[in-house]
Amino acid sequence: MSTLTLREAPPERLDLTGLDPARLAGLSEAEAARLAVGTSRRGLTLGDCFAISLDGSDCLRILGATDRLDRVGAGLAAGRIVVEGDVGQRLGAGMRGGTLTVSGSAGPFAGTAATGGTIRIAGDAAGSAGGAVHGAAAGLDGATLVIGGSAGDRLGDRMRAGLIVAKRAGVHAGARMIAGTIVADEIGDYPGYGMRRGTLVAARHGALLPTFVETGRQDLVVLRLLAKSLQALAPEAAALLRAPLRRYSGDLATLGKGELFAPVG
Amino acid sequence: MPDLILHGIRVEDTFAEAFDMAATALVLTAETPEWALIAATTMTGFATSVIGCGAEAGIDAVLSPDETPDGRPGVRVLLFGFDAGGLKDQLLRRVGQCVLTSPGSAVFAGIAWDDPNVGKALKLGGAIRYFGDGFATAKRVAGRRYWRTPVMDGEFLCEHSVPTVGGAVGGGNLLFLGRRFAETLRVAEIAVAAARAVPDAILPFPGGVVRSGSKVGARTKGMMASTNDAYCPTLKGRAGSALPPEVDVVLEIVIDGLSAGSVAAAMRAALHASTKAGGELGLVAVTAGNYGGNLGRHHFHLRDLIGEAA
């Protein structure tokens, strides 16, 4: 297992785009130390900030991470990255495969535009986790994002495909969703604002938009499939999907093919 | 050519001639085993012969909830056609008219997409969704894409596409030459039960048995097939009859399979079961139908099936 150990809190934000096991496997430690990670005119390199130990394996550990590390795992296509600590914004942006695990919390836009693979955040995620960055066509786009703690506002904003599981989320979860699935224990007010398609499932939710209408209780086969697919990944979310659920259809202010499921009673 | 003997029953040293076919498998699920079976039975109805029905179809297995994608009771059905185009047409008609309409039903591909024999994909849910008049939605779950079409009991869920199977074979057969109708029918039933226990094989005729075996062509102009007069007992004694005097009834089973191996396994199981029971049921001989070996490239020699599977 290759390891990058942060020596001390960096003096500026660092951009770790492309620092994945496959790329590092082709480099010596001296070559890796010369990779640029700084975001200012200071010209910081990987070796300036991290103690580097490479063994060519498909697993990379980043130790002592802080929220100044941006774009960790961005573009990851295969292999595994394990982060001990927190990370900054755009964790796993554009990721295509592999697994990315963070023991702490993540900054905004975690998983944005990620088309494959699995991202697990043990702690909290800031706003727009799985959401589109400003001006982008889509947020999460096929990957799986699991947030063990709370997600901020606009969870899955403009997500296009994939799955998000979170403990809690703030307001406007699933806003502008193009498609995909979000399952959370609790979500804030106005979920699914402007959603075109997609599925929101929440054990508890805040105020609903007037453009969501209740369609009653149906034992839909798709919920069984979702529950089965979630069983290994998030058993509590799977249990929620197996409970009797009431369905709301929306956002009827737009295409209206989205839906929100909440427990009956 | 000397005949063969199995369990004391004469087995003619001949072969069944079978053909390449396009095939697919579906898993149909429903709220109860009864409704899954109703959907499967309806969908596989009028599918005995691809010449007259457009497809050959049958139930391959009844599945427990543990064996289905959605955890409900299910049935696996196999559908065979001349080619992928004809198969797709029949698939859409049969799922559209017989499964979409059946309460609580859902449709999944019955072949794993990573199966090495998977061939061309046939768009299924992606075509039936138009019944939803623009209200249908797609959902991707665990890497598979499904269409959810609003219907009056909720939603009809159907996999976007299903794969065809390369190497499917239709037309494996056995003919049972017996003395009395009731006893020979019992022999055929025993053979059908044995063949149906083999995975990836179906017997598309009524109850798995066909009593009107056919030959290619006819004296009547334009007829593609006509009665197999060589095996009709009421035509015994004429030139061309293949029946010995003691044979008063002949029944046939026809087997389609997703591979030549599954057809051979089903024929072997049927041959052994029928000859084993046939001694007490007046079975005179077992033979097989072919067209001289010039039409189909798959020849299942009964000599090879007498031994147990390797």
Name the pairing type of β-strands B298-301 and B15-20.
Answer: antiparallel
Residues A235-248, mean pLDDT to the nearest whole number: 96
Contacts of B146 in chain A (CB under 8 A): 222, 225
- Domain hosting B64: range is 22-165
Domain shared by B103 and B201, yes or no: no
Q: Are residues B160 and B233 in the same domain?
A: no
Q: What per-residue confidence (pLDDT) applies to B309?
A: 58
pLDDT in tens, B12-70: 999 999 999 999 999 999 999 999 999 999 999 999 999 889 999 999 999 999 999 99
Q: What is the mean pLDDT of residues A73-78?
A: 96
pLDDT tens digits, residue range A114-156?
999 999 999 999 999 999 999 999 999 999 999 999 999 999 9
Amino acid identity, position A251: D
Contact residues for B212 (Cβ-Cβ < 8 A; gap 6+): B227, B228
Q: What is the pLDDT of residue B1?
A: 56
Q: Are A105 and A80 in contact (CB under 8 A)?
A: no
Give the end of a domain, one of B124, B144, B165: B165
Q: What is the rounded CA–CA span in Å between residue B233 and residue B249?
A: 6
Q: What is the CATH number of the domain that holds B89?
A: 3.30.70.520
Give me the pLDDT at residue B2, please: 66
Q: CB distance A225–B157 less than 8 Å?
A: yes
The residue-averaged pLDDT of A174-201 equals 98
Query: In chain B, at which residue ranges do the beta strands (DSSP E only) sit?
Result: 4-6, 9-11, 15-20, 22-29, 56-63, 74-81, 106-109, 118-123, 137-141, 144-151, 154-159, 161-165, 169-178, 201-202, 209-210, 214-216, 225-227, 249-257, 283-287, 298-301
Inspect the interface and report whether the beta carbons of A161 and B106 lie closer than 8 Å.
no
Of residues A206, A219, A69, A227, the one with CA closest to residue B154: A219
CA atoms within 13 A on the CB side of A27: 19
Q: Select the residue from B129, B141, B155 to test the A interface by mutation, using most A Cβ atoms within 10 A.
A: B141
Residue where one domain finishes, among candidates B116, B145, B165: B165
Residue A97: is its pLDDT beyond 80?
yes
- Are residues B101 and B221 both part of a single domain? no
One domain for residues B259 and B230 = yes
Identify whether the C-beta of residue B136 lies closer than 8 Å to the C-beta of residue B148: yes
Answer with the one of B165, B200, B234 that is the final residue of a domain.
Answer: B165
* Cα A59 from Cα A19, distance rounded (Å): 11
Model pLDDT, residue A139: 98
Pairwise CA distance, residues A208 & A173, whole Å:
11
What is the structure's pLDDT at B307?
82
Q: Which residues of B touch A225 (CB under 8 A)?
A: 69-70, 139, 141-142, 146, 157
Chain B residues in contact with A221 by the CB 8 A cut-off are 29, 70, 72, 106, 155, 157
CB contact under 8 A, B141 and A221: no
Residues B180 and B146 in one domain: no
Q: Which of A156, A136, A152 shows the shortest CA–CA distance to A144?
A: A156
The ipTM estimated for the assembled molecules is 0.93
What would the two tokens of residue B83 be? 């080619």
The chain B residue lying nearest A227, using CA atoms, is: B70
Q: Answer yes or no: do B10 and B45 share one domain.
A: no
The chain A residue lying nearest B139, using CA atoms, is A180
Amino acid at A50: F
Q: How many domains does chain B have?
A: 2
Are B145 and B246 part of one and the same domain? no
Q: What is the pairing mode between strands A199-205 and B144-151?
A: unpaired
Q: Do A229 and B142 touch (CB under 8 A)?
A: yes
B172 and B116, same structural domain?
Answer: no
The CA dihedral of A230, A234, A239, A240, to the nearest 10 degrees, is -90
Task: Identify the residue among A200, A221, A261 best suited for mutation to test binding to B, counting B beta carbons within 10 A and taking the highest.
Answer: A221
Q: How far is CA A79 from CA A2, A19, A32, A140, B59, in A?
A: 12, 12, 18, 19, 43
Distance from CA of A63 to the nearest CA of B (A): 32
Query: If you search the block for the tokens 């700084």, which residue do you land on?
Result: A38
pLDDT at position A39: 95
To which residue do tokens 């061939």 refer? B119
Residue B42: phi and psi, rounded to 5, are -65, -45
A20-51 as b/e: b if 16+ CB within 10 A = bbebbeebeeeebbebebbeeeeebebbbbbe
Same domain, B260 and B197: yes
Nearest neighbour of A224 by CB, restricted to B70, B135, B148: B70
> Which residues of B sit within 8 Å Cβ distance of A?
29, 69-72, 106, 135, 137-142, 146, 148, 153-155, 157
Separation between Cα atoms, residue B121 and residue B119, nearest integer Å: 6
CB A198 within 8 A of CB A175: no
- Would you state the pLDDT for residue B51? 87
Q: How many CB atoms lie within 10 A of CB A118?
A: 21
* Residues comprising chain B, all counted: 310
Would the CB atoms of B141 and A222 count as touching at under 8 Å?
A: yes
Q: Are residue B204 and residue B150 in the same domain, yes or no?
A: no
B308 or A264: which carries more pLDDT confidence?
A: A264
Instruction: Going residue by residue through chain B, which has 310 residues, state the pLDDT in tens, using 9 for 90 and above.
Output: 567 999 999 999 999 999 999 999 999 999 999 999 999 999 999 999 998 899 999 999 999 999 999 999 999 999 999 999 999 999 999 999 999 999 999 999 999 999 998 999 999 999 999 999 999 999 999 999 999 999 999 999 999 999 999 899 999 999 999 999 999 999 999 999 999 999 999 999 999 999 999 988 899 999 988 999 999 999 999 999 999 999 999 999 999 999 999 999 999 999 999 999 999 999 999 999 988 877 789 999 999 999 865 5
Statement to judge: residues B13 and B32 lie in one domain:
no
What stretches of A46-92 show up as alpha helix (H) in DSSP? 46-49
Same domain, B127 and B155: yes
Q: How distant is the Cα of B142 from the closest Cα of chain A, in angstroms?
A: 6
3 state SS of B287 = strand
Query: How far apart, in Å, are the Cα atoms of B300 and each of B173, B253, B265, B271, B295?
Result: 9, 14, 10, 12, 13
Name the residue among B70, B137, B153 with its Cβ closest to that of A225.
B70
